[in-house]
């Protein structure tokens, strides 16, 4: 009776005209299409601007030390703005510290990990919200 392309066109037409249900009978065939209730297309509000995220990843295996714990720098918190290349913290293995660097300009969107949290190489340490 209908192929996938026909059904897609019917559903698109229903959405465009605000039709919530459609029944078609033909011989021994019967088709009922019902769209979920929702606002009419003209009542749909414009979408908010999309945001993108960037992951600050662990450069090594070790335990996390947040910026400001003992390095004299100000501590960071969710919502703080950071710039590309800015130091976010360290992943330490004994006395060796590998810096965790901001991969892009943005704001910190995730919680700051607790000191001593274990990370593997390439694990996401922090997430930044960036402009697309």
Which residue reads 């996938």 in tokens? 4
Q: Summarize pLDDT for 70-97 with one digit per residue, the tens.
A: 999 999 999 999 999 999 999 999 999 9
Nearest Cα neighbor of 89 from 80, 102, 78 is 102
CB-based burial label for 97 (10 Å; 0-12, 13-18, 19+)? middle
Q: Summarize pLDDT for 9-53 with one digit per residue, the tens.
A: 877 888 888 888 878 777 777 777 777 765 555 555 566 666 799
Instruction: Report yes or no: 48 and 129 within 8 Å, Cβ to Cβ.
Output: no
**CATH class of the domain comprising 52-130:** mainly beta
All structural domains of the chain with their residue ranges: 4-43, 52-130
């Amino acid at each position: 009776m209908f192929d996938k392309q026909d059904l897609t066109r019917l559903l698109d037409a229903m959405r465009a005209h605000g039709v919530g249900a459609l029944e078609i009978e033909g011989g021994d065939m019967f088709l009922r299409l019902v769209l979920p209730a929702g606002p009419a297309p003209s009542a749909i509000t414009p979408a908010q601007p999309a945001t993108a995220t960037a992951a600050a990843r662990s450069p090594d295996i070790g335990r996390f030390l947040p910026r400001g714990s003992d390095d004299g720098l100000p501590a960071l918190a969710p919502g703080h703005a950071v710039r590309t290349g800015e130091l976010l913290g360290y992943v330490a293995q004994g006395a060796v510290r590998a810096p965790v660097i901001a991969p892009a300009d943005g704001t910190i969107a995730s919680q700051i990990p607790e000191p001593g949290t274990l990370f593997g190489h390439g694990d996401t340490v922090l997430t930044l919200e960036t402009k697309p």
